[in-house]
Structure 1
Amino acid sequence: MPARRRVLLLGVRRLALFVSRHPWAVLLVWALLVALSLPFAARAPSALSANPGTLTNAESARVSDLLRDKFGETDTNTALLVTRSTPGLDTAPGQATYQRFVSGLRDVKGVTRVLPAQRGGLGSRDAAGTLALTVAQIPLQEDGKEAVARIRAYVRRVASPALDIRVTGGQAIADDFTELAEADTKRSEFVALPLIALLLLLVFGALVATGLPLVIGMLSISVAMAGLYFLTTVMEVSTFAQSVVTMLGLGAGIDYALLMVNRFREELARRGNAAEAAARTVETAGRSVLFSGSTVAIAMAGLLLPPLSFVRSIGIGGVLAVVLTVLASLTALPALLTLLGDRVNAPRLLRSTWAQSAGASAAWTAFARRVTARPLAVVVLSTAFLLLLAVPASRMKTGYAGAWGLVPGVESRDALQDVRDMGAGGLLSQYEVLLDLEGKRYTPDQSARFQAVVNDLRALPGVRAVLSPFLTPADLQAAGGGTSDGLAALSLLTQRSFSRDRTFLRVTVVPDDTLRADLAPAFEKRVRAVLEGSGSRFLVGGAPVGGREFSEAITDTLPTVMLAVFGGTFVLLLLAFRSLLIPLKSIVMNALTVGAAAGVVTWAVQEGHFAGLLGLPASAGVLDSSLPLLLFAVMFGLSMDYEIFLLSRVQEEHLAGASNDEAVVRAVGHTARIITSAAVIMFIVFTAFMFGRVVATKSVGLGLAVAVVLDATLVRLVLVPAFLKLAGRWNWWLPAWLDKRLPYLKLEH
């Protein structure tokens, strides 16, 4: 064995010997780690955030800073309360009930100002007012999460059959995202685990062997969630990080355990000694697990590149979950196998364990021969089909969906729909415009110029009102008040329109309706066109601008992330298979899989095809901006599992003397059953996430479920064998000068 190879493999062998000789010590360390992790893991979900994040140097962030520093505005976090009164507000009893509610609302800690709806004003559903929906706009202090929680507690106390109250707004929507993401993850685990256990029982036929993959998955998830909690103390961590940890912990953990337990049972039957069999399992299948986990970790590490803590936290969670899953598979699992020995096959409940047969499958071998008999036709047709599925991805639109990223039936979403029905949906899509006087103080003689800008903005299509000192009745109503409190509103709006040093002028543009992420850029373009014609320097901020900037920041980094992941994966595969063509082929085919899955998600979620069947709302119109990155990273990494399972067997057969064509056929015959078993498990895990109430999580689940089906069937068992047949001896070509300089690795399973 070359010296370089000995050095690289020495660590794996030492680990294998240590774990098999000291199983109790290994398990004690894991038991202590899990015991210490569980209390923190339980706190993690509530500490996660649905806030998409901000960009430090972005225009919207500069506007927020100026509003705070120059205007003294610290209460820009707005909650909207939708009330349904019976009798209506135009009756004395109805008005008295509503006023008592408003009076108590003003006393809720954290509420700085209440703008009550006026009788006969905004929200009246009919002329008689017997059924009225009213809106209260409540600017909150900086700690909006706690304030909204207190508001909701107050609402629960005062709500009655005569006054139904629901809460919405940016903070309420974010809180619902966080709560539902946690609940959806728990529900997904509850749905998936029994189905996975049943499948594992069919695979192994024995109860003990069935339980081991589930144990490994739970170990990695528990410790990874504790890691997420500690991460929340130093940065904002996305709610999606929890879903990624669960997906990878269950999916990859069970896949790796499936491979390891299968190899242990083979080695135990061959050697008869549990410790030797466990050590050999780590040296062979464990090496494949280590390499597969490395590819997944590289893919998830790509999410660390975007300059957003929200996205980076998902990458950190993914890397953490993969590292812990690999570590548990290489230490805790072989330690358990060493102690169990023959008992891993007890109690034997089923005799048919088709997926764990050590021999080749005659059916899959025959299938591989048919595929490789017409390789060119297979490659062309398979590639064309994947490209066809990927076509809708070219129409993908991304952005922050807000409340429309939740399914109907969620309070903040349904309340916002009521707000829209009342014509006040624009309250959550306001544009904050700051006119910069370049250090000069505003004087009354500039009033005409200022008013001209306001009038031009008010005349734009889709504008409900413009909040400025130059008020109209429509502006007053859009601000949440009626004409009866016009003087108070005038005073308030005048104060908010001029900075303390009077060097900045502020105008708030309120659209007719809540702007979907795909519609907001056109509206913003019209606003900017007016401002550019004013001759003044300006800044534009607000929630729609921040959402666009966030989406663009992620989209702009996607090519960099992809190149980094492609580069890292290419190097690993080059080291493993000592070939230039194999890494290129793997990258291209994995990209085809991800593209096809992205196309299906775009077609189903964004464009609404079969939305009702999938439990998806048809009103979002966009995909969550982090979805393309997340789908690419998770699926690209996980699909390498099947790639390594198959290619390592092809290489093994080829090095043993088989021709290229025969090596491909034999490899499919030996690996197809375990690949399909692992894929079914992955499919169950991902499909379980489609039953949630957060659209982004459902979208990720749908995309990954589609991708794993395509990857484990059409790509890995059809397209790859056909391509390997076409490539022939070029599969293993490596320039001599490079061959001498690369370290030597060997993968076995």
Structure 2
Amino acid sequence: MRALALLVTRRPWLVLLLWALLAAVSAYPASLAPRNLSANPGELKDAESSRVTALLRERFGERDTNTALLVTRSNPPLSTPQGRAVYDRFVTDLEAVPGVTRVLRAGVQGTVPTVSPDGTLALTVAQIPLREGASGALARVRAYAEQAEQELGGGRLDVRVTGGQAIADDFTAFAEGDTKRSEFAALPLTGLVLLGVFGALVATGLPLAVGVLSITVAMAGLYGLTRVAEVSTFAQSVITLIGLGAGIDYALLMVNRFREELARDGDSRAAAARTVLTAGRSVLFSGLTVAIAMAALIIPPIAFVRSMGLGGVLAVLLTVLASVTALPALLALLGERVNSPRLLRFTWSQSAGVSGAWTAFARRVTARPWLAVILSTLFLLVLALPALGMRTGYAGAWGLTPGVESRDALADVRDLGAGGLLSQFEVILDLGGRRYGPEDRARFRQVVNDLRALPGVQAVISPFLTPADLAGEVGNRGTDTLGALSLLTRRSFSEDRTLLRVTVVPGTYLRADQIDPFEARLRATLSRSGFRFLLGGAPVGEREFSRAITDALPAAVLTVFGATFLLLTVAFRSLLVPLKSILMNALTVGAAYGVVTLVVQEGFLAGPLGIPRDVGVLDSSLPLILFAVLFGLSMDYEIFLLSRVQEEVLRGHPNDEAVVLAVGRTARIITSAALIMFIVFCAFVVGRVVANKSIGLGLAVAVALDATLVRLVLVPAFLKIAGHWNWWLPGWLGRRMPRVRVEH
């Protein structure tokens, strides 16, 4: 650290020039990153649903299984000649849209309702590519829908588009927009808080500059990642949260320490060097803990989730690098000008000395430590209780707020009774290498009849049609019964006739928490059929994807706990302090889980926060993302406080007095930093993507609890109870560990 401190303070112009060049090079690719992100949950290699998709493509010749659902409201209705003529023209032109490979008209599918009883609402299914070109094809379909409203309807035709691809694309678009709005909303409010803390305009701008700088370079790195792998749209949110939250936190600590050091002798370069050696060490260790926590997202075997972890690690490392190089270089050049122009004077926040009020508060807390520990712990546990009933999964369109086209259109599809089209299960029956023959017909028909009889099943698409199915399959364009049977035969048998295919359409769009019971009934029926089978489709893929993430959570938690324990043991030369830190951070994370579950899943106070009450589940990646971000950022305050306690102990103060003095010196920084983080996180609650709103809500609740109840009540009380055991380390271990001092 000493070499780094000398470099950045003796050659500040060189350091700033390098950062300026890096920012300039990063600006353009950073602007390109958002449009290359994806909300597609993807698929797992070797998963059952992935094998079904591969078989449909390779053995059944299914190429374009992606669908766009177009909901039309027309006046006059389809039951009139005028309404039918407009609709027929609409479908004919839709078939000519590039990327659309097939169109199923309203009233032709037959297996599900596609026209409302009054004829004003109709559902049209357009098949588009599954992967390459899917978003482009959908964009052209949407553009055509807007054009058709004007040219064909003259204000009497309303077209809305939904489907899996439409939902995913809306997630990406609105997540990007939410992030940008959050940045623009948080930055001026954050500036006001920093102005209250520092009172000077120059000092106020420095933390904001560090945050924006680290975000820009990290987004450029994210763009590079999009060139080689699919990257989650939430990676942008993670980078913004880390870049603004941690970046401003670290800069606040560094600038505050610089002003304290500058007041001693007025030598700006010496003060900047001492700032790097003291506060810089705290920033370095704090950043390492955040990076370790964010690396937990790399553990699940899913590239989509790993991209979020890589983005978070990249953001925090760049934030730390900017905080200990670019910022002290600026401080060395600014010197006393960091305190100008002085606009506000609040001695309670802007003084670098000990706060009498917070010192007195700490004495009251440590006077009755057991009461503080018990009451604080019980309160956090009560908040965490709802998390015991947490349900996770892919929320789909219900993870968007009302007013988004794909969500509103899906509500129309559901009201029409065709919501199950987006929750279809694909069944592959294996004849064991033998070709389908007459002796298999009865058994195949029996499986279809058994599936059709299951509760919640609206239709089973197979070669065995009921009279109602046949009537529905004969459309008004002259499709005959023979043609319908021919189409169903081609889709139901593999090209070598050794595999059979059945599609099960539920009665409604299945929410994530409704998939498992429905799937269990299907599997039980198929197991009794005597066929070997594979079960796939969107619901199975979503459930497998969600389970892969949740199954990775225990390993991620244990890895982060273990790495954090080792890092803090080295930093503070103690076994009890790291253990206490992990347990108290876990309490904070649990409380945040509980509040998010109560609000988003159960709907408590969801309305005032703009969260739909029908989401029903938390996004499957939310527990892991919240844990990684929360655990890492909570350690910021932990290290800020503990490093000052250790510093006071090393100066010769008794443990109890060191705790009180540390709270008196750090409470202003911790509460100011927490207020800034709270503003940044609350900005994410105002948006259209429920997952982003959930992340913002959980982080806001956690930082409010962590910076007040945990760091200023629970931790000081525990340190008082533990006494000299706080700094106990076995002699044999101490002799083998490196000596590191963490100060600020």
AA of the residue aligned to 1:55: L
Q: 1:453 to 1:482 in 2, by over 3 A?
A: farther
Q: Which piece of structure 1 moves more, 236-245 or 337-346?
A: 337-346
Structure 2 equivalent of residue 539 of structure 1: 534
**Which whole-Å CA distance do the structure 2 matches of 1:476 and 1:604 have between them?**
47
For residues 670-709 of structure 1, the C-alpha deviation after alignment (integer angstroms, 9 at most, x for no partner) is 1111100000000000000000100000000000000000
AA of the residue aligned to 2:531: S
Matched, 1:98 2:87: yes
Q: 1:729 to 1:64 in 2, by over 3 A?
A: same
2:98 pairs, out of 109, 115, 120, with 109
Structure 1 equivalent of residue 558 of structure 2: 563
Structure 2 equivalent of residue 577 of structure 1: 572
SS of the aligned residue for 2:68 comes to strand
Structure 1 equivalent of residue 319 of structure 2: 325
Instruction: Please report how far the alpha carbon of residue 137 of structure 1 lies from its aligned counterpart in structure 2 after TM superposition.
Output: 3.9
Q: Which piece of structure 1 moves more, 660-669 or 265-274?
A: 265-274
2:268 pairs, out of 261, 274, 291, with 274
Structure 2 equivalent of residue 55 of structure 1: 44
Structure 1 equivalent of residue 138 of structure 2: 148
Instruction: Please say if residues 686 and 693 of structure 2, whose CA atoms lie closer than 8 Å, have aligned partners that are also in contact.
Output: yes
AA of the residue aligned to 2:732: W
Instruction: Please say if residues 89 and 120 of structure 1, whose CA atoms lie closer than 8 Å, have aligned partners that are also in contact.
Output: no
Structure 2 equivalent of residue 7 of structure 1: none
Structure 1 equivalent of residue 648 of structure 2: 653
Q: 1:382 to 1:703 in 2, by over 3 A?
A: same
Structure 1 equivalent of residue 459 of structure 2: 465
Q: Pairwise mapping of residues 540-689 of structure 1 onto structure 2 (< 5 A)?
A: 540-689=535-684
AA of the residue aligned to 1:432: E
Q: Which piece of structure 1 moves more, 476-485 or 22-31?
A: 476-485
2:78 pairs, out of 86, 89, 98, with 89
AA of the residue aligned to 1:250: L
Instruction: Please report how far the alpha carbon of residue 120 of structure 1 lies from its aligned counterpart in structure 2 after TM superposition.
Output: 12
Instruction: Please say if residues 45 and 242 of structure 1, whose CA atoms lie closer than 8 Å, have aligned partners that are also in contact.
Output: yes
Q: Which piece of structure 1 moves more, 349-358 or 167-176?
A: 349-358
Instruction: Please say if residues 422 and 538 of structure 2, whose CA atoms lie closer than 8 Å, have aligned partners that are also in contact.
Output: yes
AA of the residue aligned to 1:174: A
Q: 1:180 to 1:120 in 2, by over 3 A?
A: closer
Instruction: Please say if residues 91 and 105 of structure 2, whose CA atoms lie closer than 8 Å, have aligned partners that are also in contact.
Output: yes
**Which whole-Å CA distance do the structure 2 matches of 1:165 and 1:679 have between them?**
46
Structure 2 equivalent of residue 158 of structure 1: 148
Q: 1:739 to 1:84 in 2, by over 3 A?
A: same
SS of the aligned residue for 1:519 comes to helix
Q: Which piece of structure 1 moves more, 396-405 or 489-498?
A: 489-498
AA of the residue aligned to 2:140: R
Instruction: Please report how far the alpha carbon of residue 473 of structure 1 lies from its aligned counterpart in structure 2 after TM superposition.
Output: 5.0
Instruction: Please say if residues 109 and 472 of structure 2, whose CA atoms lie closer than 8 Å, have aligned partners that are also in contact.
Output: no
Q: 1:383 to 1:483 in 2, by over 3 A?
A: farther
**Which whole-Å CA distance do the structure 2 matches of 1:418 and 1:37 have between them?**
44
Instruction: Please say if residues 473 and 483 of structure 1, whose CA atoms lie closer than 8 Å, have aligned partners that are also in contact.
Output: no
Q: Pairwise mapping of residues 154-553 of structure 1 onto structure 2 (< 5 A)?
A: 154-160=144-150, 161-472=155-466, 475=469, 485=479, 486-553=481-548
For residues 528-559 of structure 1, the C-alpha deviation after alignment (integer angstroms, 9 at most, x for no partner) is 00100001100000010011111111111111
Instruction: Please say if residues 162 and 409 of structure 2, whose CA atoms lie closer than 8 Å, have aligned partners that are also in contact.
Output: yes
Q: Which piece of structure 1 moves more, 352-361 or 583-592?
A: 352-361
Instruction: Please say if residues 114 and 139 of structure 1, whose CA atoms lie closer than 8 Å, have aligned partners that are also in contact.
Output: no
AA of the residue aligned to 1:608: G
2:65 pairs, out of 76, 87, 90, with 76
Instruction: Please say if residues 90 and 119 of structure 1, whose CA atoms lie closer than 8 Å, have aligned partners that are also in contact.
Output: no
Q: 1:588 to 1:473 in 2, by over 3 A?
A: farther
Q: 1:197 to 1:461 in 2, by over 3 A?
A: same
SS of the aligned residue for 2:102 comes to coil
Instruction: Please say if residues 429 and 534 of structure 2, whose CA atoms lie closer than 8 Å, have aligned partners that are also in contact.
Output: yes
Instruction: Please say if residues 116 and 480 of structure 1, whose CA atoms lie closer than 8 Å, have aligned partners that are also in contact.
Output: no
Instruction: Please say if residues 128 and 138 of structure 2, whose CA atoms lie closer than 8 Å, have aligned partners that are also in contact.
Output: no
Structure 2 equivalent of residue 125 of structure 1: 116
Instruction: Please say if residues 59 and 539 of structure 1, whose CA atoms lie closer than 8 Å, have aligned partners that are also in contact.
Output: yes
Instruction: Please say if residues 464 and 511 of structure 1, whose CA atoms lie closer than 8 Å, have aligned partners that are also in contact.
Output: yes
SS of the aligned residue for 2:684 comes to helix
For residues 244-293 of structure 1, the C-alpha deviation after alignment (integer angstroms, 9 at most, x for no partner) is 00000000000000000111111111121111111111111111101100
For residues 598-649 of structure 1, the C-alpha deviation after alignment (integer angstroms, 9 at most, x for no partner) is 0000000001111111100111100000000000000000000000010011
Instruction: Please report how far the alpha carbon of residue 99 of structure 1 lies from its aligned counterpart in structure 2 after TM superposition.
Output: 1.0
For residues 78-117 of structure 1, the C-alpha deviation after alignment (integer angstroms, 9 at most, x for no partner) is 1100001011111111111111111111011111100011
Instruction: Please say if residues 199 and 350 of structure 2, whose CA atoms lie closer than 8 Å, have aligned partners that are also in contact.
Output: no
Instruction: Please report how far the alpha carbon of residue 139 of structure 1 lies from its aligned counterpart in structure 2 after TM superposition.
Output: 4.2
Instruction: Please say if residues 368 and 721 of structure 1, whose CA atoms lie closer than 8 Å, have aligned partners that are also in contact.
Output: yes
Q: Which piece of structure 1 moves more, 468-477 or 219-228?
A: 468-477
Instruction: Please report how far the alpha carbon of residue 53 of structure 1 lies from its aligned counterpart in structure 2 after TM superposition.
Output: 2.1
TM-score by length of 1: 0.97
Q: Which piece of structure 1 moves more, 651-660 or 396-405?
A: 651-660
**Which whole-Å CA distance do the structure 1 matches of 2:29 and 2:408 have between them?**
33
Q: Which piece of structure 1 moves more, 421-430 or 378-387?
A: 378-387
Q: 1:219 to 1:478 in 2, by over 3 A?
A: farther
AA of the residue aligned to 1:177: F
**Number of equivalent positions:** 736
SS of the aligned residue for 1:433 comes to strand
Instruction: Please say if residues 112 and 141 of structure 1, whose CA atoms lie closer than 8 Å, have aligned partners that are also in contact.
Output: no
SS of the aligned residue for 1:194 comes to helix
SS of the aligned residue for 1:609 comes to coil
Q: 1:120 to 1:469 in 2, by over 3 A?
A: closer
Unpaired runs of 5+ in structure 1?
Answer: 1-11
Instruction: Please report how far the alpha carbon of residue 462 of structure 1 lies from its aligned counterpart in structure 2 after TM superposition.
Output: 0.2
AA of the residue aligned to 1:105: L
Q: 1:120 to 1:217 in 2, by over 3 A?
A: closer
Unpaired runs of 5+ in structure 2?
Answer: none
SS of the aligned residue for 2:122 comes to strand
Instruction: Please say if residues 115 and 481 of structure 1, whose CA atoms lie closer than 8 Å, have aligned partners that are also in contact.
Output: no
SS of the aligned residue for 1:690 comes to coil
SS of the aligned residue for 2:663 comes to helix
Instruction: Please report how far the alpha carbon of residue 134 of structure 1 lies from its aligned counterpart in structure 2 after TM superposition.
Output: 3.0
SS of the aligned residue for 1:432 comes to strand
**Which whole-Å CA distance do the structure 1 matches of 2:651 and 2:493 have between them?**
81
Instruction: Please report how far the alpha carbon of residue 183 of structure 1 lies from its aligned counterpart in structure 2 after TM superposition.
Output: 0.1
AA of the residue aligned to 2:454: L
Instruction: Please say if residues 30 and 217 of structure 2, whose CA atoms lie closer than 8 Å, have aligned partners that are also in contact.
Output: yes
**Which whole-Å CA distance do the structure 2 matches of 1:474 and 1:712 have between them?**
64
Instruction: Please report how far the alpha carbon of residue 400 of structure 1 lies from its aligned counterpart in structure 2 after TM superposition.
Output: 0.4
For residues 215-236 of structure 1, the C-alpha deviation after alignment (integer angstroms, 9 at most, x for no partner) is 0000000000011111011111
**Which whole-Å CA distance do the structure 1 matches of 2:307 and 2:548 have between them?**
15
Instruction: Please say if residues 148 and 171 of structure 1, whose CA atoms lie closer than 8 Å, have aligned partners that are also in contact.
Output: yes
**Which whole-Å CA distance do the structure 1 matches of 2:482 and 2:26 have between them?**
58
SS of the aligned residue for 1:505 comes to strand
Structure 1 equivalent of residue 697 of structure 2: 702
For residues 279-331 of structure 1, the C-alpha deviation after alignment (integer angstroms, 9 at most, x for no partner) is 11111111110110000000001111100011100000000000000001011
Instruction: Please say if residues 108 and 474 of structure 2, whose CA atoms lie closer than 8 Å, have aligned partners that are also in contact.
Output: no
Instruction: Please say if residues 364 and 672 of structure 1, whose CA atoms lie closer than 8 Å, have aligned partners that are also in contact.
Output: yes
Structure 2 equivalent of residue 40 of structure 1: 29
**Which whole-Å CA distance do the structure 2 matches of 1:333 and 1:480 have between them?**
72
Q: 1:477 to 1:76 in 2, by over 3 A?
A: farther
Structure 1 equivalent of residue 125 of structure 2: 136
Matched, 1:741 2:736: yes
